[in-house]
Amino acid sequence: MAIRTAPPPIVTAGRRRPAKPVWQRMVEARWCYLFMLPGMILTGMFTFYPIVASMYFSLLQWSGFTTNATFIGLANYAEVIQDRFFWAAFGRSFLFMFTSVPVKLTLALIIALILNDAALRLSPVFRTLFFIPVVTTTAIIGIVMTFILSPFNGPINLSMLFLGILERPIDFLGEADSALWTVIGVEIWKWLGQPMIYWLAALQTVPPVLYEAAKVDGASVWQQFRNITAPLIKPFAIVIVLITAVGTLKVFALVQTMTGGGPFFATEVMEVYIYRTAFGSAASQTLPRLGYASATAVFFGFTVMALAVIQWLVARRVNRGGVETGGMEG
Amino acid sequence: MSSATQSVNTTSMTQVVKKRRLRPARVRELVVTLLLIPIAFLWIYPFLWMVSAAFKTNNDIFRTGLTLLPQTLEWENFVRAWVQARIGQYFLNTVIIAAGSVSLVLITTSMMGYALGRYDFPGKKTIMAFFIATVFLPAAYTIIPIFDLVSTLGLNGSLLGVILAQSGGAHVIFILLFAGYFGQIPRELEEAAIMDGASFLRVFVQIMLPLSKPIIATTIIMQFISSWNDFLLPLVLTLPRPELRTLSVGMYAFRGEYFTDWAGMAAAATIGIIPVIIVFLFLQRYFIEGLAGAVKQ
């Protein structure tokens, strides 16, 4: 193991480089550059250029309708820092992510563990049913959900009244206290199937022989999960958390169609805030402010990316620590 | 208590002593199945309610309570959805956009993954670093320049703008999957082909691509789901052009115009959602294996 993790001998690299100058290696790799080209052009136009352009736009006062944008330096940022609607939306986006991701991943893992049971013959049917919401169009789901959750004889309120859980119907999406949690709940329902499939894929890599051995030793279900399943699916968990967290950043479709950010901005997450500021909405009669919206987008984007980098560094450190002290647990 | 744990413990010994130990696993199966049936029913209840509402009259939807079976079949709702809400047109637009972005993404990410995974070339590490840095980039960060760029290029009059913008996201996960997969393939395979005089392009198309079917499946499924669900991009790029709207945007606009036509909206939602569910049911093996591939590789 020590041999494997040792850094590769520098000699090799040092010996190779003077033999072939960079330009020569570039000529040799011309096919590689050609293969990179189509993807680079597209991402250059629609990912990397927008990253830089956003920073430039954020220094402008610009309504988007006219070409006469005024350069105003960092004035937009000075305003962003004092904008309480911005900070509220900023906090809400993180609240959304830090609530939805852990709940979704935990529930998905529980369902996956239940469905991974070889004795359950209907398992593929349940897997299909739990996965169905994932393939449906988010914006349409958002609209259908406003009916389902309607306080005027919507099916959820009706059944809760019928069962005696409620005395009066709840306006789930119309009240500031419940709206955000309701949207988070629907988001978890909509996307739960995706991490469930990931967990199932991870669980299927655990050899059944290990469980049989554990059963012979009399290990409980929890002990089996802790000592066999958990360590073996841990390498997958990092990828699953990453993919799920990235997906949970994109909640615009659901929030915009379910509440439009209301009531009284109670569900206005960053994407909705930026959309409203940049492209206006029926509710706000104000002119679109592309420059200011860009400043908020840049501020938010860099915070998210900084947090992601920190999280990645921490995860890498923890993983390394785990490898080094690996002998202690066993 | 002890008998319960024992029943769990002995399940997979069933193959060994089939007759005597078959029962505990069957009991557990029955209990779990009976628990999961109502949960799964509630899970898909919104879709059942939607289909049922699509056949009811506007008055009946919220008056008939919890009954899923409509009293009469109001096909009129579907006519309104098709004519007024133009759902058919939007469905076609969404299919074109999804097909276009899936094809473009497949071509660009497989080629990039091949170059990055199999070859060393100057600048490779820098390019990788730039791409990986964008993984956590929020969509709202780039939407304003994309809107501006698509208008400047004059692409806001066609679906091409949406297709290109969707394909131009840095699809880091697909690139890494392709790179990882191509990187594992033994060198001898292409060396033999190169000896026979095959070009770089031919090795890629005729040898490497056919080998990477699992990753191709994952890319198609994940990009399809993402394109089909996309809302912010098509909303910003097509809202002023009704004939270019996707299902998401069309449905959103329909509600804005006819916000009391519940039955019409339910019918439109049914037309928009049910075909995809049917396609999924037929191709679910590919969906599930494709998605699972994202984690397994």
DSSP codes joined into one string, B187-212:
HHHHHHHHHTT--HHHIIIIIIHHHT
Neighboring chain B residues of A46 at a CB cutoff of 8 Å:
142, 146, 149, 164-165, 167-169
The letter for the amino acid at A216 is: V
- Interchain CB distance below 8 Å, B204 and A200: no
Angle at A315 (CA atoms; ends A309, A321), nearest 5 degrees: 140
The letter for the amino acid at A91 is: G
- Enclosing H/E stretch for B235: helix B232-238
pLDDT band at A19 (very low <50, low <70, confident <90, very high): low
Phi-psi region of B123 (alpha: psi -120 to 50; beta: other; left: phi over 0): left
> Looking at the predicted structure, is the pLDDT value of residue A193 above 90?
yes
Cβ-based neighbour number of residue A4 at 10 Å: 5
- Counted residue by residue, chain B has a size of 297
- Enclosing H/E stretch for B269: helix B262-296
Return the minimum-mean-pLDDT range out of A143-152, A290-299, B145-154, B285-294.
B285-294
Whether B138 contacts A300, CB under 8 Å: yes
Q: Distance (Å, rounded) from C-alpha B55 to C-alpha B196? A: 64
Q: Distance (Å, rounded) from C-alpha A255 to C-alpha A83? A: 21
- Interchain CB distance below 8 Å, A117 and B115: no
Nearest to A251 by CA among A86, A99, A110: A99
pLDDT at residue A74, as a whole number: 85
Within 126-165 of B, beta carbons closer than 8 Å to A belong to 127, 130-131, 133-149, 164-165
Whether A271 contacts A293, CB under 8 Å: no
In this prediction, residues A9-34 reach a mean pLDDT of 68
The chain B residue lying nearest A190, using CA atoms, is B43
pLDDT at residue A194, as a whole number: 92
pLDDT at residue A7, as a whole number: 37
Largest CA distance in chain A: 83
CA B281 to chain centre: 13
Nearest to B140 by CA among B215, B76, B50, B231: B231
Q: Which residue has the tokens 């990055």?
A: B116
Collapsing DSSP to helix, strand or coil, A60 comes out as strand
* Distance from the B189 Cα atom to the nearest Cα atom in chain A, whole angstroms: 18
Nearest to A43 by CA among B225, B132, B119: B132
> Looking at the predicted structure, is the pLDDT value of residue B6 above 70?
no
Mean pLDDT of chain A: 83
- Interchain CB distance below 8 Å, A211 and B104: no
pLDDT at residue B297, as a whole number: 61
Q: Which residue has the tokens 């909509």?
A: A190
For the stretch B17-46, pLDDT in tens is 445 555 777 888 899 999 999 999 999 999
- Interchain CB distance below 8 Å, A114 and B32: yes
For the stretch B89-117, pLDDT in tens is 999 999 999 999 999 999 999 999 999 99
Return the minimum-mean-pLDDT range out of B19-33, B36-50, B185-199, B230-244.
B19-33
Share of chain B above pLDDT 70, in %: 91
Nearest to B68 by CA among B39, B46, B40, B43: B46
User: Model ipTM?
Assistant: 0.82
Beta bridge partners of A71: A60
Collapsing DSSP to helix, strand or coil, A322 comes out as helix
Nearest to B284 by CA among A125, A114, A195: A125
For the stretch A95-125, pLDDT in tens is 999 999 999 999 999 999 999 988 888 999 9
Q: Distance (Å, rounded) from C-alpha A40 to C-alpha A46? A: 10
- Enclosing H/E stretch for A71: strand A70-71
Helix axes B247-257, B87-118, angle to 10 degrees: 150
- Enclosing H/E stretch for B41: helix B18-54
The chain A residue lying nearest B119, using CA atoms, is A32
- Interchain CB distance below 8 Å, B12 and A118: yes
B197 CB burial (10 A radius; 0-12, 13-18, 19+): exposed
Cβ-based neighbour number of residue B93 at 10 Å: 22
Q: What's the token pair of residue A57?
A: 């736009």
pLDDT at residue B214, as a whole number: 86
The letter for the amino acid at B85 is: A
pLDDT at residue A285, as a whole number: 56
Residues with Cβ within 8 Å of B220's Cβ and at least 6 positions away in sequence, in order, are B102, B106, B290
pLDDT band at A319 (very low <50, low <70, confident <90, very high): low
In this prediction, residues B66-73 reach a mean pLDDT of 76
- Interchain CB distance below 8 Å, B140 and A189: no
Whether B121 contacts A267, CB under 8 Å: no
pLDDT at residue A159, as a whole number: 86
Whether B54 contacts B270, CB under 8 Å: yes
Neighboring chain B residues of A127 at a CB cutoff of 8 Å:
288
H-type alpha helices, chain A: 2-5, 10-19, 22-28, 30-43, 49-57, 75-82, 84-115, 123-135, 138-148, 155-162, 176-191, 193-203, 208-216, 221-224, 230-248, 252-258, 270-279, 290-324, 326-329
Whether A79 contacts A291, CB under 8 Å: no
Q: Distance (Å, rounded) from C-alpha A84 to C-alpha B223? A: 36
Whether B253 contacts B245, CB under 8 Å: yes
Q: What's the token pair of residue A213?
A: 């051995």
